[in-house]
Amino acid sequence: MLRDGRVAVVHRPHRQDWTLPKGKLEPGEDDLAAAVREVCEETGWLAEPGGDLGTVEYTTPDGRPKSVRWYRMRAVQRVAEPTADVDEVRWVDAGEARALLTYDLDREVLARAGL
């Protein structure tokens, strides 16, 4: 998600990682609705979705397969505090985001977004 040309990255204390905001689908929810909801939950910002950046598939640390559909998003308005799963949100330029992110797959998403 972008705001003033900066990227939102979140720190998850239970995983001790820095990642892009993402989550999982709720029953009956489509990929786009889940992406908007999860970004809001993890950052506290309502986002306006833009272009589809495709899907990334990986295996979670506990061995489960996961698939995440990514969208380019623009932060519109701060509406809440992040959920307890996130203890810090940073808005950084793309270079700092690449250096801070824990996972190469998140860096791939930035590249897909042209960042």
Do 34 and 28 form a contact (C-beta atoms < 8 A)?
Answer: no
User: Is the pTM above the cut of 0.75?
Assistant: yes
DSSP H helices in the chain = 31-43, 94-100, 104-112
Strand partners, 66: 58
Q: In the numeric block, which tokens belong to residue 40?
A: 């809001």
> What string of pLDDT tens digits covers the 115 residues of the chain?
999 999 999 999 999 999 999 988 999 999 999 999 999 999 999 999 999 999 999 998 889 999 999 999 999 999 999 999 999 999 999 999 999 999 999 999 999 999 9
